[in-house]
Structure 1
Amino acid sequence: MSDGQRVHMAPMKVAVIAASSRVRASLQALVEPNPALEFVGSAADAETLVDCLAGSLPDVIVTDIEPEASDALKALFEIGHAPPALVLLSDDPDGDWILDVLPADALAILPLNAMPAEIVMSIEAVAAGLCVLPPDILAKLLSGRKPSHEAASGEPFEALTLREIEVLAMLADGLGNKEIARQLDISDNTVKFHVSSIFGKLGATNRTEAVMLGMRRGFIMV
């Protein structure tokens, strides 16, 4: 997209659910200085947040909600037709319980002691429709997730998004992350998330393999 064609994007609306007022204040302080994000409210639990937001839904929810409180979080996601993305801060990010409390299509799971930059970067990633997951959780999710398509051999695989196909085509052209970011007018970090997602969906371990698998499955033509 050329400079003259760039469209102004509204800030992503971010809400916080955390039992501790200190944690809520810290997360609010991370969001507010970022011009791409808009802090819209916080609460100690999902029900209170619903009342606070008066029926509207944020684009992203950041929460340290405990597993036993997951029903409240799921209820919040059932309010709207398009569920918000989720950034989950947990002291047990590798636990099996995670698989039962992930109602969002785009989500991030981070340890409670994650660095501020990691949290902000994860908010931006899930707002872009990406996932940020520990390797163990990703493997569990992929093993239990129904694939979108099947290859000619019958081997299941997941479909790529339109943006992922764009990135994959640029990988096939031999472009590096910085050049892809420049051409698509996105950040280097967003390109990294897209590349990681492509690798995960195609089962690739490097760029060359991703391009070969993408060609074999009809996502790109070279």
Structure 2
Amino acid sequence: MSDGQTVQTAPLRVAVIATSWQERVSLQALVEANPAFEFLGSAADAEKLVDCLAGSVPDVVVTDIAPEASDALKTLFELSHALPSLVLLSDDPDSDWILDALPADAAAILPRNAMPAEIVVSIEAVAAGLCVVTRDVLVRLLAGTRAPRQKLSGEPLEALTLREIGVLAMLADGLGNKEIARQLDISDNTVKFHLSSIFGKLGATNRTEAVMLGMRHGFIMV
């Protein structure tokens, strides 16, 4: 600034969920060592974290619990209208459930043995609205590793119903099962039934693949 003053930005509020107390202590030390972060608290699961925070909502949650943590956080923080971003530490960041969770539930996915600097950069990235994934996950998202079932079988693609198209569009918007059920006023089991039908018709094996195939065949646009 021309008058020599600097703009002070508020530190990022960071919380931790980890099953191991050693991991919680390690992540807490990492957060507290960075002056750009404010450590809010830690717990072994999402419910205990919410109790620990007593109404405060973090900007970012670093967690090694997946994929249940993201769903629990959505439910527990939904009244605040300000869901935290997630940095997920996983033993298997390239597994299929990661591809299912990524569009809706996580902004960063790192291996559990990620370097401290990588975790710090990921916290800053997700707080800025960016996604962080490993190279292998990115390659699978862009190109895919499995051929759709309808190509293998040679069967023609079956058209989706209007309700299934609506559910698929909600998947593309990043909604979880509970959110879809709430918006459509249907049960969770009915949502699962629709998803099963969508996957079967498109030949998809997970949510990400279903959205990609739905876009490819013109059922939805993103």
TM-score by length of 1: 0.57
Rate the CA distance shift 1:48–1:80 in 2: closer, same or farther, 3 A.
Answer: same
Q: Which runs of 5+ in 1 are unaligned?
A: 148-222
Q: Which has the larger radius of gyration?
A: 2
Residue aligning to 1:134: 134
Kindly state the Cα deviation for residue 18 of structure 1 after the two structures are TM-superposed: 0.5
Residue aligning to 2:7: 7
| Aligned length, in residue pairs | 147
* Matches for 1:32-181 after TM superposition, within 5 Å: 32-67=32-67, 70-102=70-102, 107-138=107-138
Kindly state the Cα deviation for residue 80 of structure 1 after the two structures are TM-superposed: 2.7
SS of aligned partner of 1:110? strand
Q: Which runs of 5+ in 2 are unaligned?
A: 144-167, 174-222
Give the Cα–Cα distance (whole angstroms) in 1 for the partners of residues 3 and 127 of structure 2. 22
Structure in which a larger fraction of residues adopt helix: 2
For the 8 Å contact 1:17–1:43, the answer to whether it is kept is yes
SS of aligned partner of 1:61? strand
Amino acid at match of 1:115: M
Give the Cα–Cα distance (whole angstroms) in 1 for the partners of residues 25 and 47 of structure 2. 19
For the 8 Å contact 1:19–1:45, the answer to whether it is kept is yes
For the 8 Å contact 1:74–1:103, the answer to whether it is kept is no
> Higher mean Cα deviation, 96-105 or 123-132?
96-105
Give the Cα–Cα distance (whole angstroms) in 1 for the partners of residues 134 and 2 of structure 2. 36
Residue aligning to 1:151: none
TM-score by length of 2: 0.57
Residue aligning to 1:29: 29
Deviation readout 1:17-76 (Å, 9 max, x if unpaired): 001000000000001011100000000000011111112210000000033555424424
Give the Cα–Cα distance (whole angstroms) in 2 for the partners of residues 2 and 88 of structure 1. 41
- Cα RMSD for the two superposed structures: 3.0
